[in-house]
Amino acid sequence: MINNRIWLSSPHMGSSEIKYVNDAFASNWIAPLGQNVDNFENLISDYISDENHFHTIALSSGTSALHLALKMLNIDKGDIILIQSFTFCGTTNPASYLNAEIVFIDSELDTWNMCPIALETALKRYKNVKAIIPVHLYGMPAKMDDIEFLATKYNIPIIEDAAEALGSKFQNKYCGTFGTMSALSFNGNKIITTSGGGALISKDINYINYARFLSAQARNNKPYYEHSEVGYNYRMSNVLAGIGCGQMEVLNLRIQKRRENNFEYRNFFKNIPGITFQTELDDKFYSNYWLTSILIDEKINGGITNEFIRNSLEKENIESRPLWKPMHTQPVYNGCKFIGSGVCEKLFEQGLCLPSGSNLSKDDFQKIFYVLDKIFK
């Protein structure tokens, strides 16, 4: 039965989402603007910084946020964008929409995110670089000190893909506050969700104002519909923003539970050889542990592979998932350049994302550990 399935990461509503949705119905603001959208945007800006330095626009997806970010940097055909290869296609597709040339950057082993050494190699090699897009994979912050240092040295803007990392911090600063512009996602499987949605964040109000304009079909300020630019229909609905307002009330609880999940798995695996976790390197790193992810070394554990574990869980109706397949190995990006030694390919070969939802119960964990016990003991 579908209800018995243990999901990788499923939506987890609090108690007030429905109230905000009802408000939208009561006021008939069933539109891509309204009180919930305004509130949701302010809640995000306030969450990521105490000092009102940041501005937020709620959008239809994280992918559309990244698309608008590149659009506002005037990315054009042939411009080079340096993108972390180890990620979801939502990070990379916007560069393709704009016919930019993507150069994929390898990961490093500490965080699994953009390798600063490979990044510098690329920055030295290519002259026409217009943006750098690091990702905080599964909630783990990238080495933003090194990446920012290089971005400043070569004077290239960072567009931060914080889609998986709302609530994560690096050096006590929230992910989503490092980029010239930063993207969040509220897709159904993320740490909080609006069923589908995203946001663009920037310190620079001009970017946010321009994103607002472009996201509403670039309509000029005239009584009739006049357009002098090609825009997009990328706004978030006021109904969905209501879900977001409710989810912001429980965000810290959701982070706490995901971190507890991570601890449960560490505890389970602590005496099992050949298992390593994606782990906070030191106290500069604070992950929301959106997805608990492990590497499985079959040479050490006697031949047990990530696929064997995934299939064993699947037989018991438990969802787990391989790590992101590096984008430079995707058929659709065949022919794109890649800088690095293939760290992300090795991670992909050995990795597995474990069920990590904030709504996992004690019972669910018992079922998961029952399967894992049979495999490892």
Ligand X SMILES: *Cc1c(COP(=O)(O)O)cnc(C)c1O
* Per-residue binder mask for ligand X (CB under 6 A), 109-138, x = binder: --------------------------x---
Binding span for ligand X by CB under 6 A among 57-65, 98-106, 173-181, 254-262: 57-65
Reduce the DSSP state of residue 100 to 3 states and report it.
Answer: coil
Beta carbon nearer to ligand X, 58 or 122: 58
230 by Cβ neighbours in 10 Å (0-12 / 13-18 / 19+) ranks as: exposed
Amino acid, res. 245: C
Q: Per rule CB under 6 A, is residue 61 in the interface with ligand X?
A: yes
Site for ligand X in 135-164 (CB under 6 A): 135, 161, 163-164
Beta carbon nearer to ligand X, 59 or 309: 59
Beta carbon nearer to ligand X, 79 or 160: 160
Q: Per rule CB under 6 A, is residue 348 in the interface with ligand X?
A: no
By CB under 6 A, name the one of 56, 85, 87, 262 that touches ligand X. 87
Number of residues assigned to the chain: 377
Q: Per rule CB under 6 A, is residue 240 in the interface with ligand X?
A: no
Q: Residues 331-370, buried b or exposed e (16+ Cβ, 10 A)?
A: eebeebbbbbebbbbebbbbbbbbbbbbebeeebbebbee
Q: Is the dihedral of CA 339, 343, 347, 349 positive or negative?
A: positive
For the chain, report the end-to-end CA distance as a whole number of angstroms.
29
Beta carbon nearer to ligand X, 269 or 333: 333
Beta carbon nearer to ligand X, 17 or 23: 17
Amino acid, res. 161: D
Q: Per rule CB under 6 A, is residue 304 in the interface with ligand X?
A: no
Minimum CB–partner distance for residue 79 and ligand X (Å):
20
Between CA 195 and CA 234 the distance in angstroms is 15
Between CA 176 and CA 190 the distance in angstroms is 15
Q: Per rule CB under 6 A, is residue 23 in the interface with ligand X?
A: no
By CB under 6 A, name the one of 9, 36, 91, 113 that touches ligand X. 91
Beta carbon nearer to ligand X, 62 or 326: 62
Q: Cα dihedral angle (280, 282, 284, 286), rounded to 10 degrees?
A: 30
By CB under 6 A, name the one of 11, 32, 34, 62 that touches ligand X. 62
- Max distance between CA atoms of the chain, in angstroms, equals 72
* Per-residue binder mask for ligand X (CB under 6 A), 305-344, x = binder: ----------------------------------------
Q: Per rule CB under 6 A, is residue 182 in the interface with ligand X?
A: no
Between CA 173 and CA 170 the distance in angstroms is 5
207 by Cβ neighbours in 10 Å (0-12 / 13-18 / 19+) ranks as: buried
Q: Per rule CB under 6 A, is residue 63 in the interface with ligand X?
A: yes
Q: Per rule CB under 6 A, is residue 90 in the interface with ligand X?
A: yes
* Cβ(167)–Cβ(286) below 8 Å: no
Minimum CB–partner distance for residue 111 and ligand X (Å):
14
Q: Per rule CB under 6 A, is residue 194 in the interface with ligand X?
A: no
Q: Per rule CB under 6 A, is residue 179 in the interface with ligand X?
A: no
| Binding residues for ligand X (CB under 6 A) | 61-63, 87-88, 90-91, 135, 161, 163-164, 185, 187, 198
